[in-house]
Amino acid sequence: MQMLAFAVLAAVSLAGYAGTSWWLVVPAATLLTLQSWWSHLWRLGEPGHDPWSRKITAYFVTGIAADLVMAVVAFGLGRALRWMLGWA
């Protein structure tokens, strides 16, 4: 996991702690997906690269789901910490 992913997850946790709305999870998951897939998507346009396949599609969709779960967990941990400290 790269530094940008840690920064995004920390920001989502902080947003959960601050009591913001749940919709911030979606942009966080989008950023996590772009961060992890940017080099793969960039290379698809180069000549000699393997074309998009069902296997790559399955990995991409699974990666989106995993990034969404990570963002929801980070947000939930921020909310849980807020509740445990009595800020709810």
Number of domains in the chain: 1
Structural domain of 47? 3-84
- CA 8 – CA 31 distance, rounded (Å): 8
From 71, 65, 63, select the one nearest 9 (Cα to Cα): 71
Give the per-residue pLDDT at 88. 60
Alpha-carbon distance of 55 to 6, in angstroms, equals: 27
pLDDT digits (tens, 9 = 90+) for 10-62: 999 999 999 999 999 999 999 999 998 887 777 777 777 778 889 989 999 99
Closest by Cα among 29, 23, 22 to 5 = 29
Give 63-81 pLDDT, tens digit per residue.
999 999 999 999 999 999 9
